[in-house]
Structure 1
Amino acid sequence: MAEHIHPIHEQLVQRSEREAANGHRGGVVWLTGLSGSGKSTIAAAVERRLFERGVFVQVLDGDNVRNGLNGNLGFSLADRQENVRRVAEVAKLFAGAGALVLCSFVSPTRDIRATVAEIVGDDYLEVYINTPLEECERRDVKGLYAKARAGEIKQFTGIDSPYEAPPDPFLDLPTTDLTVEQAATQLIEALTPRLQLPHA
């Protein structure tokens, strides 16, 4: 350590103080599922509803990290792993500040999600947005599956790259049986006692 640099951890605002000020605990909710499964839509609905309750909540997804923090990464398996690793580190910092972080990423393999769980620790809550491939292809709002089927996109999860479903998630949301609002309600109800969230 440099001569004039001294640790100041004991002087910093502690997480317990932040959580007391926020009125709830921090945590990292990791939404995983195929492209088009509804991860981002559900995360946005949960964020809006919790924000209106006064919760310190933030969504992290491909739209707001791929253009900045991870703008230098592609979509190979190695780059996906690095993308998720960086997001996990950022989410951990948010949680340490007492925030509820909603992370919406395909994160296709169990190994990738295990890395996230290891980084985040006890704050990690895995949520499986359980939507069959056929339904995701039917939605295909961005036309990605059609391009993958045509060979225009390589290593696309669900087509020529595998997706491994979580064996034991914190919550399993089968979106073919739920509306967005119903899925958001189920997730909020599961999180409320766990993170001591304020009631509506």
Structure 2
Amino acid sequence: MSEHIVWHPAAITKADRQNLNRHKSFVLWFTGLSGSGKSTLANEVDRQLFSIGVRSYVLDGDNVRHGLNKGLGFSIEDRVENIRRIGEVSRLFVDSGQVVLTAFISPFREDRDRVRQLFEPGEFIEVFADCPLEVCEKRDVKGLYEKARRGEIREFTGIDSPYEAPLDPELKIDTTSASVEECAKQVIRYLQNNGMIGLESQIP
């Protein structure tokens, strides 16, 4: 970094923005295999948060690659950079007093742990969308697993590139045993029980 670049402090603090919003700001980091349901779950949690007045926004893996990260491929190096950028953007959202939900495979523990270090204790909530590979393949509406099995897609997570499941996530959601609405309510209950959003908030 250039010695001429200096951090400029903001006039309005994160605490000020949290007080205005009447809830804490944090990142819900959804991780899991392709087809595990993390994007669907993140969006349902976002919908439920919106319904109770929580300011939140979803950063989805595919959507971000249309803009911010469109120049990145799927090599290990590019995946590391992909997650680094998302971590930094998420930190800006949290600093702005909002809740950010990220839905990325983010297959490597080291990368997720590195992002965690960007946040204050309690601000990074790792949500593991737990779903067996065989179920993910059956759900594969994009046909990506089939292409990976045929060798048309290289370094595809779960096929010829590893997925390192979280060892101690804040939340582990079995996306095969309940509806997406109920899975989302598990996340909402965690946030309420840990004082991240108000206990009085009721999902319509």
Shared topology, TM-score over 0.5? yes
CA drift of 1:177 comes to: 1.1
Q: How does 1:95-114 map to 2 (within 5 A)?
A: 95-114=94-113
How far, CA to CA, are the matches of 1:29 and 1:83 in structure 2? 17
* 1:119 partner SS: coil
After TM superposition, the structure 1 = structure 2 runs for residues 108-127 of structure 1, keeping only pairs within 5 Å, are: 108-122=107-121, 123-127=123-127
Relative to structure 1, is the Cα distance of residues 60 and 195 closer, same or farther in structure 2, using a 3 angstrom cutoff? Answer: farther
Return the alpha-carbon distance in structure 2 between the equivalents of residues 65 and 89 of structure 1: 13
Matched position secondary structure for 2:50: helix
Between the aligned residues of both structures, percent identity stands at 50
CA drift at 1:119: 2.2
Indicate whether 1:65 and 2:64 are aligned: yes
Q: Partner residue of 1:190?
A: 190
> Structure 1 length normalisation: TM-score?
0.93
3-state DSSP of counterpart to 1:21: helix
- Whether the aligned pair in 2 keeps the contact of 1:31 and 1:127 (CA below 8 Å) is yes
Q: Which amino acid aligns with 2:29?
A: W
Show structure 1 runs of 5+ residues with no match: none
Q: TM (normalized to structure 2)?
A: 0.91
Counterpart of 2:134 in structure 1 is: 134
- AA in 2 matched with 1:138: K
Query: Corresponding residue for 1:169?
Result: 169
1:37·1:175 contact (CA, 8 Å) conserved in 2?
yes
Aligned partners of 1:36 and 1:136 also within 8 Å: yes
Residue identity in the other structure for 1:49: Q
The verdict on how the C-alpha distance between 1:195 and 1:78 changes in structure 2, with shifts beyond 3 A counting, is: farther
Runs of 4+ in structure 1 over 3 Å off: 5-8
Task: Rate the CA distance shift 1:195–1:76 in 2: closer, same or farther, 3 A.
Answer: farther
Q: Structure 2, unaligned stretches of length 5 or more? A: none
Give distance in 2, aligned partners of 1:7 and 1:115.
21
Report the secondary structure of 1:154's partner residue: coil
Mapped partners of 1:100, 1:7: distance in 2: 23
Residue in 2 aligned with 1:51?
50
Aligned-residue CA RMSD (Å) = 1.7
Deviation for aligned residue 1:8: 5.5
Which protein has the bigger helix share?
Answer: 1
Structure 2 distance, partners of 1:116, 1:6, is 22
Give CA-to-partner distance per residue, 1:52-87, whole Å, 9 cap, x none: 111010101113211111111001111011000000
In the alignment of these two chains, the number of paired residues is: 197
CA distance in 2, matches of 1:29, 1:155: 26
